[in-house]
Structure 1
């Protein structure tokens, strides 16, 4: 395994010293945001985690190895790469085998974080069941990964382009607990409240850490979703984002866009249709998640 994974000096030192480490995905850099906001956000999120007293570990596949913790030059490489693969569970061996530059999704980041001994992962929003999944079976691999890989995922809920009801049903069926921070309901990415209840409300990091330790101590494998709503001042009105999302989905359908391509397409169209306001919301929620994730990682060290 040491031949496949390389920790940065900062991450390796933190692991040796027993300090809290927080994993970060790289798809948000390569596919989730435009240049140069993607690079700026990657840097800022890492700085937020450091300011809370934890160590950030952005994960990607570079040169045939899983890299856990990237240099600034490597962040910039991902931010400007036109051909970085979008890696999920099935794609990791391919990117490693052929030496292809790859950005990790939620699922792949969970896998790599667990291999590196990292318990907390911060992202924007998890994937889920796409609208119409009851007939198309278009369900993100993120959900199955949450059912099998023991990593706590701090997110602003699931992206509102998805069927959030089906997403929560899938997580319930597979025994994945959904914790909500600061409210009873599951968050909906651009907006704080999906209108759907989360499983449990746990507002502070110490209680969240005790819950997670109890789950894993009981031998109940798999991950935990920590749903942290976007700050109210950065949120978008629910009615507006729902209407814009419906328009973007209709355009994707007309153009025949499906699979891995649909989420980047929809996020880009929503950004255009909101005049860039959705991107500002996306950046704000990721930074907010980084605060919660860093505090949780620190609490887990003492739980």
Structure 2
């Protein structure tokens, strides 16, 4: 391992890629430890890395091992986060405390973005962003972190369990650039169209790379670029099933008094159970498609 001046360990394959100017894609580890059920989580984590490699880019899954932030987990470390109990879910505010405690931890979208940029990585693939929750003021740190972190994030919009309209308003207020990939409609994670228009769209990885280059050249924008990559219509979760499952999940949420960061994993688990695994299959398609697109963008940007 190589330790940077910021006390972030960088795996040898990632360090070599950064040193030689190869394209690199950051990947989160929360999907491995908290987002997918065992044993699917480890298999999918490996598939995500393979999807990035297939584009010619280098995957850099980020996580914490015994208090050490690591950019580019090896397979043993990835297995550890996928199979161990008690892995902490780390946002930006948790990183220093978890490091001091010597904890194992999985990084959220916010933490992955911040660590990736600190390590010199500019492209990040995830499933869906966090945002503003429904019916109560509870806002993900993903939003404020993206407002001040110059990273390109490929995602399928924000999770449809959130208040999508309010989340888009917050992204606008915070100055986060959002473009649709091949669409002027904002995707809703499990569903292709969340019901909101976008001002801008791009059609190719090269166009995304051109936007990234223009932002660097102008030097006036320090925040993130969100590339919203919708599922094709024939790959989305059936919208009627989605709406019914969401309504049932929100009712259970209220009945059990669940709040805060427990809301998202609770609702995702409900979707998995209520749709008999169909939502999980969609979730996997989302992250694999986003990893592939992020790899192509990173290759275009490196060129």
Secondary structure, aligned partner of 2:129: coil
Q: Could you say which residue in structure 1 is the equivalent of 2:251?
A: 250
Cα RMSD between the aligned structures?
A: 1.1
Could you list the per-position Cα deviations for residues 225-246 of structure 1 after superposition, in whole angstroms to 9, with x for gaps in the alignment?
1000123332112222011011
Structure 2 residue 44 is matched with structure 1 residue 10: no
Q: TM-score, normalised by structure 2?
A: 0.96
**C-alpha distance in 2 between matches for 1:73 and 1:254:** 40
Could you list the per-position Cα deviations for residues 16-36 of structure 1 after superposition, in whole angstroms to 9, with x for gaps in the alignment?
111000000000011000001
**C-alpha distance in 2 between matches for 1:277 and 1:234:** 11
Q: CA deviation at 1:249?
A: 1.4
Q: Which runs of 5+ in 2 are unaligned?
A: none
Q: Which runs of 5+ in 1 are unaligned?
A: none
Could you list the per-position Cα deviations for residues 181-213 of structure 1 after superposition, in whole angstroms to 9, with x for gaps in the alignment?
121101100011111012311010111111122
1:270-289 equivalences in 2 (<5 Å): 270-289=271-290
Q: CA deviation at 1:3?
A: 6.1
Contact 1:4 1:64 in 2 (8 A): no
Q: Of 21, 25, 48, which aligns to 1:45? A: 48
**C-alpha distance in 2 between matches for 1:58 and 1:198:** 30
Secondary structure, aligned partner of 2:32: helix
Secondary structure, aligned partner of 1:252: helix
Paired residues, what number?
Answer: 299
Q: Could you say which residue in structure 1 is the equivalent of 2:263?
A: 262
**C-alpha distance in 2 between matches for 1:272 and 1:153:** 29
Contact 1:64 1:96 in 2 (8 A): yes
Q: Of 11, 30, 34, which aligns to 2:37? A: 34
**C-alpha distance in 2 between matches for 1:231 and 1:112:** 31
Q: CA deviation at 1:215?
A: 2.0
1:55-204 equivalences in 2 (<5 Å): 55-132=58-135, 136-204=136-204
